[in-house]
Amino acid sequence: MDDYKNIFVVGLNDFNRSRLEQLRGAEHYRFHGVIAPEAVYDTEVFSIADMLQEATTQLEAFEGHIDAIVGYMDFPVSTMLPILCERFGTRTTSLESLLKCEHKYWSRKVQREVIPEFIPNFTAFDPFDDDALTAIGEAGLYFPFFVKPIKSSGSRLGFRIDTPEDFYHAVERLRADIGLIADPFNTVLEHAQLPKDVAEVDGGYCMAEEIIGGWQCTVEGYVYEGEVVSYGIVDSLRYPQVLSFFHYRYPSGLPEKIQDKIIELTDTVMTHIGYDNSAFNIEYFWDEVQDRLWLLEINTRISQSHCDLFEKVDGVSNQQITVDLGLGKRPDMPYRQGDYAIGAKFFYRVFFVDAVVTRVPSREEIDALQQEFPGTLIALQVEEGQRLSTLAEQDSYSFALAYIWTGAKDETELLANYESLASRLNFEFDEIVG
């Protein structure tokens, strides 16, 4: 047993365990779960203090050597890792550098220090302030603009604001639900040394930002011993006329010069932040008409959604990055050694306000489709009898009923395969609210 590296994964589930066990060097690793996966996947209620105590108790009870503590999820997992790693002497970035990415106001402030022309105008506001709209205008932001919490997860509680009525509707939703993340995020902030102006803007605040848009993409990268490495760019393509994602595609179809500029900006901002020995991904927009790049946001982890894409195209899940860095090693990530030239994750969605699911595709139907399209993985996100409004981590405009990962020889084949497959996914609904 002493020959193995013990790697503890916060929120480890069976799906990701199977991926981790296929990584390079995995025969020398033992993966252990810390905190049950349902505590971070199947709820929107997080007690960070309790979770930290539970994780600490589990880790202290382990009789072997703790070689790495890692995670592959956004909040609350990402924000707990620096605290746990510091307690147990394992490798990751500092809590302050992580918060310079995840605290959206602090992040914009430090981005503005080095790449001001690539970020939108922004301001923080208190959604419980009845004069917030006036304050936003005084900060130089006018309709339309976008609002979101200081710390959010996925696309939850993000709204485009075109009119005062839009703003008051968004504020009503924010006041009702922001505490679900604000309260646990504030628990994390108590562990950090914050500048005074940042400390005053806690998790209960929101951001208002100038509208940016264009071709959206995500650069996946890491920092090892101060060296910033960007190893892949994934395109994020939306459904026509709406904000909801249609699919993620790798490798990117962006022009080479735009990809080169994205990598340059990434190096600049991550070096300035002082982020180190951890994975990250940064979302950008390329406004093709104005030939202008915008940095949207920084995430302090690999994207789970991209794991299968890297495996299909490069030969191994980019969870390789997470594990290698957690062990203090330079990542051993292959390049273009996979079975497909292009990979994608599709989001099969309905654009209802609400409904009850009365039928989902059977296991036999799913298996038949996966056999017909080799390399395809279909993961249903709903069950019969479920009300769509009970689904966690949804955007404000649609519900994702299934995730579909697939690969192909080119984009034409990729889209044709998805359209054929999606047309045979038989969901049925009752009590539909359109």
121-148 pLDDT, tens digit per residue, is 999 999 999 999 999 999 999 999 999 9
Range of 206's domain?
A: 121-210
Q: What is the pLDDT of residues 91-122, one digit of tens each?
A: 999 999 999 999 999 999 999 999 999 999 99
**Residue 290 included in any domain:** no
What share of the chain has pLDDT > 70, as a percent? 98
CA 232 to chain centre: 16
Same domain, residue pair 87 and 125: no
3-state secondary structure of 150: coil
CA 309, CA 250: separation in Å to the nearest integer? 6
3-state class (DSSP) for residue 229: strand
CATH number at residue 178: 3.30.1490.20
Give 273-325 as a DSSP string.
HT--SEEEEEEEEEETTTTEEEEEEEESS--GGGHHHHHHHHSS-THHHHHHH
**Residue 271 dihedral angles phi and psi, to the nearest 5°:** -65, -45
Which pLDDT does position 286 carry in this prediction? 98
pTM: 0.93
The continuous run of DSSP H or E covering 260 comes out as helix 256-273
Query: Does some domain include residue 10?
Result: yes
Kindly give the residue spans of alpha helices, DSSP state H, lying in 62-103: 77-88, 95-102
Distance set, CA 211 to CA 143, 162, 335 (Å): 9, 10, 35
- Residue 40: the pLDDT is 84
Question: What's the one-letter identity of residue 391?
Answer: L
| Average of per-residue pLDDT values in the chain | 95
Farthest CA pair distance, the chain: 63
Q: Hey, which residues does 125 pair with through a beta bridge?
A: 206
Q: Kindly state whether residue 292 falls inside one of the protein's structural domains.
A: no
Query: How far are the Cα atoms of 255, 261, 293 from residue 265, in angstroms, in the given order?
Result: 16, 6, 10
Axis-axis angle for helices 104-114, 95-102 (nearest 10): 90
pLDDT digits (tens, 9 = 90+) for 201-223: 999 999 999 999 999 999 999 99
Q: Which of these three, 56, 74, 93, is where a domain ends?
A: 93
Q: How many angstroms separate the CA atoms of 45 and 193, rounded?
A: 25
Per-residue confidence (pLDDT) for residue 154, from 0 to 100 = 64
pLDDT given for residue 1 in this prediction: 47
* Residue 394 confidence (pLDDT): 81
Q: What pLDDT is recorded for position 39?
A: 87
Residues 62 and 145 in one domain: no
Is position 131 within any domain? yes
Place of tokens 């056999």: 371
Q: Which of 42, 76, 93 represents a domain boundary (last residue)?
A: 93
Q: What pLDDT score was predicted for residue 42? A: 67
CA distances from 244 to 159, 238, 253, 401, 408 (A): 12, 6, 20, 13, 23
Domain count of the chain?
A: 3
CATH at 390: 3.90.1170
Contact 300, 210 (CB under 8 A): no
pLDDT of residue 152: 81
Cα 117 from chain centroid (whole Å)? 25
Asked whether residue 27 is domain-assigned, the answer is: yes
Residue 344 has pLDDT above 60, yes or no: yes
pLDDT in tens, 50-92: 999 999 999 999 999 999 999 999 889 999 999 999 999 999 9
Query: Is it the case that residue 411 has pLDDT exceeding 70?
Result: yes
For helices 48-61 and 179-189, the axis angle rounded to 10 degrees is: 50
> Last residue of some domain: 210, 241, 261?
210
- Give the 3-state secondary structure of residue 182: helix
Question: Is the predicted pLDDT of residue 308 greater than 90, yes or no?
Answer: yes
Is the pLDDT score of 151 beyond 70? yes
In a domain, residue 269? The reply is no
Q: Is residue 99 part of a domain?
A: no
Instruction: Give the per-residue pLDDT at 294.
Output: 98
How high is the pLDDT of residue 155?
A: 67
Q: How many CA atoms lie within 13 A of 412 on its CB side?
A: 0
Burial label for 177, CB within 10 Å (0-12, 13-18, 19+), is middle
Residues 14 and 61 in one domain: yes
- Which DSSP helix (H) or strand (E) runs through 31? strand 29-34
Q: Which of 63-67, 83-87, 153-157, 416-420 has the lowest mean pLDDT?
A: 153-157
- Shared domain check, 414 and 365: yes
Is there a domain that residue 393 lies in? Answer: yes
With 50 as the cut, is the pLDDT of residue 274 above it?
yes
